[in-house]
Amino acid sequence: MKRPIQLNRFLALILQRNVSTKEAEQEVRTTRVANLATFARKKHGLTLPCVPKEFTDIDGCKYWYGVYSPTPNDKEIIREVLRKSSEVKA
């Protein structure tokens, strides 16, 4: 991963609350949120469900977006990952 800071931002964000892909893109400042989620799942063993939500645009067309909702176990793992990451910086 070229930008681990983005992964840490993503993990810190989903630790705080469930977050949509669009919100995550804006707050983490990347368009590759799905790649970050996949990487986090593989590297840290997270489940990290992405629940599909339906919405209708102003033209009446239906679309889907995902909401990342970490499990309680995911949250424990994320806390540990972020703790270790902060220790490395010090």
Give the pLDDT band of residue 89 (cuts 50, 70, 90). Answer: low
The secondary structure of the chain, three-state, reads: CCCHHHHHHHHHHHHHCCEEHHHHHHHHCCCCHHHHHHHHHHHHCCCCCEEEEEEECCCCCEEEEEEECCCHHHHHHHHHHHHHHHHHHC
Decide if pLDDT at 76 tops 90.
Answer: yes
Spatial contact of 10 and 28, defined as CB atoms under 8 Å apart: yes
Q: How confident is the model at residue 87 (pLDDT cuts 50, 70, 90)?
A: confident
Q: What is the pLDDT of residues 3-58, one digit of tens each?
A: 789 999 999 999 999 999 999 999 999 999 999 999 999 999 999 999 999 999 99
Domain-wise residue ranges, the chain: 4-89
Topology of domain 4-89 in CATH is Arc Repressor Mutant, subunit A (1.10.10)
